[in-house]
Structures are given as structure tokens and as C-alpha cells.
């Protein structure tokens, strides 16, 4: 199993990739201490105050969407002083390995976020996952940058802004999954999950302006259907931070009308929700949860 960093190295098609077990549970973190206290991405402005009441409502609503789709949602306790802990896509990368639950913990790029990882460490330990770590000098931001291909034993590895490309060798050693790396070279799209939404095993939604030329060619080489979101919706209202947990329903920030029309024309069901309070910190639907191998 390999890390594919160049277009020429792609010597397989999706149909050659083995299937993997699905992740069934959702992990979210309660937003009690969510706030914009520092600025580590272009969306954050610490003078733009969070409305806590509104944030609670939006978070509860997202949680109930997952529940209504049949997912079991686990909730991590909030921790004072960790305002970005709510973005549970970032601190870890859980997976099944030979039928066992394992997790690779992240090395966050910002010191403001590093302590979040220890909260996740404790939670995974309690939940009996085998815990793996990557060398501290390799930045890795979990499923914000490393995104699993639906049903396939293949990971798409974003790098360039946060995660370091070297982290993928280590991720590959632990997971044994094929990894295709994608270089992001546009600051606005600081994690892969801000510009790349996997929908089903053949269809992906992307913001093409986010990627290097070669990485864009890698996406087109492997995916049969690539839907392109309009740049204004992707860069301003997180159209590509949507989440399609079941290959059918796409949970997306409300108001992304052009993207929603495109999704519907490809047969997907759009589930709109408001994450505007969380967008003040640079995150929307995909960032606010982690899909984990089912606990029971
Ligand atoms: N303020 C957080 C950061 O900059 C937001 C993280 C959003 N998460 C994501 N997966 N894109 O790290």
C-alpha cells in the first residue's frame, strides 16, 4: 500500500481498490466554550463576537439531523479555554484495522489547538481504541485534511496549508490504506474539507480553485463524476464543507443555492442547516463532527 504523491504514480482505478467497513457513529463536542479567541484562518476575526444562544441552537440542530438519519451521536464534554474543540474533525483520524478500532491522533499546526488532542486521547482511551501517534514535527490535522473515500480503502490526503505531506507516510503505515495526496495552494481553503466533499464512491464536490494543477488532474483521473461548486459559495459560505454520511443526503450550510441545485441535479437530497455562528471560526458542517467506527 502506497502514498501516491504524483499524477504519474496513479497506477490504479477506483474499481481496483478494496472495500472497507463503514463508520457508523458520530462524535461531536458540546459548544459551551465555543468562541473566536484567536485568528488562525482567514475567516476568523476575534472582534466578530459569537452569539452563544444561537450557536447552541445551531449545534443542537445539526446533532438532531444526524440522529434523524439514524446515527448514534456521542458528545464530548466542553472544556474551558479550548474554543475550537467543537471542530471534532481535526484532532484525530479513527479507523478499523483488521476489525479493531484504532485512531491516529493529530499534531495541530497552532499551539492554541494542541491541548484539544489530549481531550480526544482520553475519550478514545475510554472507548478502547488503540492509540497511535505521528512524530510531533509532522503537522497532521486529522479528518480535516485526511478524508476517507466512501466505502473504499482509500484516503485523500490534503496538504500544503496545515497538514504536512510527510504525515501521510506515517498515516499509511498505521492504516495500510492507499493514500492519494492533494496539494492545496489557496489560503482560503486551509483544510481539504473546505474544498472537497465526498458524496458517494463515484461522485465528489470540489472547489477547483483550491488545488494545484497536478492535484486537480489527480481528482479528475480517479473520480468518474466531479461536481464543481461556484467559487463564491465555496469561499464564502462553506459549500464544500458539506457532509454526505449515507451517499444520499447532503447536509450543507443553508443558502448555497447554486451548489444545492447541482447536488439535486445529480440525484442527491439536500439537507440545509445553519452553521453561521461556527463559520465565524472558519468551520461548518463537516468540521463539526467526526465519523467513528461504531462503538457497539
Ligand atoms: N478555527 C479552526 C481552525 O482554524 C476551525 C477548524 C475547522 N475545521 C475544519 N475541519 N475545517 O483550526
Which segments of the chain does DSSP mark as H helices, in order? 52-68, 111-126, 167-175, 213-222, 231-237, 257-265, 276-279
Question: What atom in ligand 1 is closest to the CA of residue 281?
Answer: 1
CA distance 40 to 83: 12
Angle at 6 between CA 41 and CA 102, to 5 degrees: 65
Distance 108 CA to ligand 1 centre (A): 10
Which among 181, 186, 141, 190 is positioned nearest to 163, based on CA atoms? Answer: 141
Mean pLDDT value across residues 255-283: 98
Going by pLDDT thresholds of 50, 70 and 90, the confidence category of residue 17 is: very high
pLDDT digits (tens, 9 = 90+) for 197-207: 999 999 999 99
**Residue 24: per-residue pLDDT:** 84
Angle at 96 between CA 91 and CA 102, to 5 degrees: 50
- Cβ of 40 less than 6 Å from ligand 1: yes
- Cα separations (Å) of 217 from 48, 208, 251? 38, 10, 27
Question: What atom in ligand 1 is closest to the CA of residue 191?
Answer: 11
Res. 274: pLDDT tops 80: yes
User: For the chain, which residues make up each domain, given as ranges?
Assistant: 3-292
Question: What atom in ligand 1 is closest to the CA of residue 110?
Answer: 12
- Cβ of 260 less than 6 Å from ligand 1: no
pLDDT digits (tens, 9 = 90+) for 139-153: 999 999 999 999 999
> Which CATH number, 3.75.10.10, 3.40.30.10, 3.30.930.10, 3.30.1950.10, labels domain 3-292?
3.75.10.10
Q: Please, what is the average pLDDT of the chain?
A: 96
Q: Whose CA is nearest to atom 8 of ligand 1?
A: 287
Question: Residues 215, 261: contact at Cβ < 8 Å?
Answer: no
Question: Residues 42, 90: contact at Cβ < 8 Å?
Answer: no
DSSP reduced 3-state for 112 = helix
Question: Residues 3, 174: contact at Cβ < 8 Å?
Answer: no
Is-above-0.95 flag for pTM?
A: yes
The grid coordinates listed for 226 are 466531479
Going by pLDDT thresholds of 50, 70 and 90, the confidence category of residue 98 is: confident
- Cβ of 283 less than 6 Å from ligand 1: yes
- Cβ of 284 less than 6 Å from ligand 1: no
Mean pLDDT value across residues 57-64: 98
Going by pLDDT thresholds of 50, 70 and 90, the confidence category of residue 296 is: low
Res. 112: pLDDT tops 90: yes
Distance 214 CA to ligand 1 centre (A): 25
**Residue 1: per-residue pLDDT:** 66
Amino acid at each position: 500500500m502506497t502514498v501516491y504523491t504524483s499524477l504519474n504514480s496513479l497506477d490504479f482505478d477506483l474499481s481496483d481498490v478494496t472495500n472497507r467497513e463503514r463508520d457508523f457513529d458520530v462524535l461531536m463536542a458540546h459548544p459551551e466554550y465555543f468562541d473566536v479567541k484567536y485568528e488562525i484562518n482567514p475567516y476568523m476575526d476575534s472582534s466578530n463576537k459569537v452569539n452563544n444562544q444561537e450557536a447552541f441552537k445551531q449545534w443542537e440542530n445539526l446533532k438532531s439531523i444526524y440522529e434523524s438519519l439514524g446515527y448514534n451521536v456521542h458528545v464530548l464534554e466542553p472544556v474551558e479555554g479550548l474554543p475550537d474543540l467543537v471542530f471534532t474533525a481535526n484532532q484525530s483520524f479513527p479507523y478499523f484495522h483488521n476489525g479493531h478500532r484504532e485512531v491516529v491522533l493529530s499534531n495541530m499546526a497552532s499551539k492554541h489547538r494542541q491541548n484539544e488532542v489530549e481531550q480526544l486521547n482520553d475519550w478514545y482511551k475510554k472507548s478502547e481504541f488503540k492509540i497511535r501517534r505521528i512524530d510531533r514535527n509532522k503537522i497532521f490535522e486529522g479528518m480535516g485534511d485526511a478524508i476517507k473515500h466512501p466505502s473504499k480503502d482509500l484516503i485523500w490526503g490534503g496538504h500544503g496549508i496545515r497538514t504536512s505531506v510527510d504525515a501521510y507516510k506515517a498515516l499509511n503505515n498505521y492504516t495500510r490504506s492507499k493514500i492519494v495526496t492533494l496539494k492545496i495552494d489557496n489560503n482560503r481553503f486551509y483544510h481539504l474539507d473546505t474544498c472537497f466533499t465526498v458524496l458517494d464512491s463515484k461522485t465528489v464536490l470540489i472547489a477547483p480553485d483550491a488545488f494545484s494543477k497536478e492535484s486537480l488532474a489527480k481528482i479528475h483521473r480517479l473520480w468518474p463524476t466531479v461536481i464543481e461548486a461556484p467559487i463564491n459559495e465555496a469561499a464564502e459560505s462553506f459549500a464544500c464543507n458539506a457532509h454526505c454520511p449515507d451517499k444520499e443526503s447532503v447536509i450543507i450550510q443553508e443558502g448555497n443555492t447554486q451548489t444545492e441545485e447541482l447536488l439535486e441535479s445529480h440525484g442527491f437530497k439536500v439537507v440545509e442547516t445553519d452553521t453561521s455562528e461556527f463559520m465565524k471560526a472558519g468551520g461548518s458542517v463537516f468540521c463539526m463532527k467526526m465519523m467513528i467506527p461504531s462503538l457497539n
